[in-house]
Amino acid sequence: MATKILLFFITLVVLFIITTQQNFPTSYRLERAFPVKHPIPISELIERDTFRHRRLLQQSGVVDFPLEGDSDPYHIGLYYTKVQLGTPPRDYHVQIDTGSNVLWVNCKSCNGCPTSIRQHIPVEFYDSSSSSTSSLITCSDSLCSQASQWSECSKSKCTFRFQYGDGSGNSGYYVSDLMHLNTMGVDSGSSNSSAKVVFGCSTSETGNIRTDGVNGIFGFSQHSMSVISQLSSQGVAPDSFSHCLVGSGNGGGILVFGQIMDPNMAYTPLVQSRPHFSVNLQSISVKGQTLSIDPSTFSIPGNQEGTIIDSGTTLAYLPQDALTLLKDAISQAVSQSAQPVISREDGCYIFTSSVSSIFPLVSLNFQGGSSMHIRPQDYLLQDNSKGGAEVWCFGFRSYLTPGPTVLGDLVLKDKIIVYDLGGQRLGWSDYNCSSSVNVSSTSSRGRGGSSTSFPMLILASILQYAFNI
């Protein structure tokens, strides 16, 4: 009995220390939102509840961007979506690009910007003077210093100059304005919200970027200047996003802020401290047989970039040695069923059966033991038919000079791809991207089990022990 009293006294002391040092109140005073003697019209109560429900809906909802376009280089060869910027909001069709850092759109008085678009979508030029919520990013702004790698100061304006892998480029200056977001709620309803974002205003363009047929590029890298990083830091969006690209028919798909959930998801860690979404590709298998490729082959010598996952690239790129071994293994597997087209240097085959019944499954094996299985349609491109026979060519390419391993839309289509910035991992799962998806809008950094503090766990243990003696 004396032991119980002693333990109970110790418990009271611990409880006193916790509540005083952590400023925990021992009682709470509740007050009515509306006084009893002052009746509130039912319409005002409904309006108040509706506002609260809308706020809850936005907190648990998911921002989504319907996609158009396809992965066929003979047709469109890119995926794009519509963003709304400014006040009043105006529509801009932009390519989704996980290999670029920022969002930028064509601006008024642009030199070299397209005046017509082959996808038959409206040509739109951003005009900061027509938006009441637009403001210029100056050289002293912290975001300008964060973009110092490709920005500079010009007449107090924070300017940028981008150069892309195909030799094209653009330049302009940064502005801040409202981005309008469509939020899908748990009850399948939708609501609108907006948030301030910094993006590029392009005033000059050169090269292929002029003919890509969109109003700009929607960059989704891990850099702090990307829209997903900006919105995540504001608490407007989770620290992850996902896309599902339809590979057949008219293409299209969906991009969401959050993680598309699927029970068959596989994950691999992201390469640390890289702006792009890079992973460690360790081997390639054909029909379950691993090719003799040194894992270091997939990285540029002296560069720890790894394999880049890039929705802005149409095809896929491997080092020459790895590509040669892959082509040889596939050629050997189909030697009895498909005839090589000798006149074609890019590795083409002619045959009369279906491509999936002849060509083998290829597996890309990543760090952590997860594999991405790619079908023949994910590494071959259909060319013109000849006399009733089909011609398919390799969609994987190699660089003339050493370059990074890049997996583009050819490989990424018909899969859920999850970019988990908070958890620093990449996820994927084969999926019919024309179907509906389940999305979690929980931030990875906010995950975890119980939030019970360590002192309270000690207190609980003391109480349990005291009253079980």
What is the spatial distance between Cα 358 and Cα 421, in angstroms, rounded to a whole number? 39
* Coil, helix or strand at residue 440: strand
Two tokens at 372? 């991405």
* Coil, helix or strand at residue 180: strand
What is the spatial distance between Cα 267 and Cα 301, in angstroms, rounded to a whole number? 26
Any idea what DSSP says for residue 383? -
Catalytic residue from among 310, 378, 414, 420? 310
Element (H, E) at 84: strand 79-85
What is the spatial distance between Cα 124 and Cα 114, in angstroms, rounded to a whole number? 10
Which residue, among 397, 396, 393, has the nearest Cα to 381 in the 3D structure?
Answer: 393
CB 432 within 8 A of CB 410: no
CB 110 within 8 A of CB 125: yes
Catalytic residue from among 64, 70, 97, 414? 97
| Buried-state track 11-30, b at ≥16 Cβ within 10 A, e below 16 | beebbeeeeeeeeeeeeeee
Which residue, among 303, 123, 93, 119, has the nearest Cα to 216 in the 3D structure?
Answer: 93
Helices (H), 206-336: 227-233, 320-333
Q: Is 310 a catalytic residue?
A: yes
Cα-trace Rg, the chain? 28
Two tokens at 38? 């002052």
Q: Is 97 a catalytic residue?
A: yes
User: Scanning the structure block, which residue is given the tokens 């969906």?
Assistant: 254
Element (H, E) at 394: strand 390-394
Element (H, E) at 28: none
First to last CA, the chain: 9
**Which residues are tagged catalytic?**
97, 310
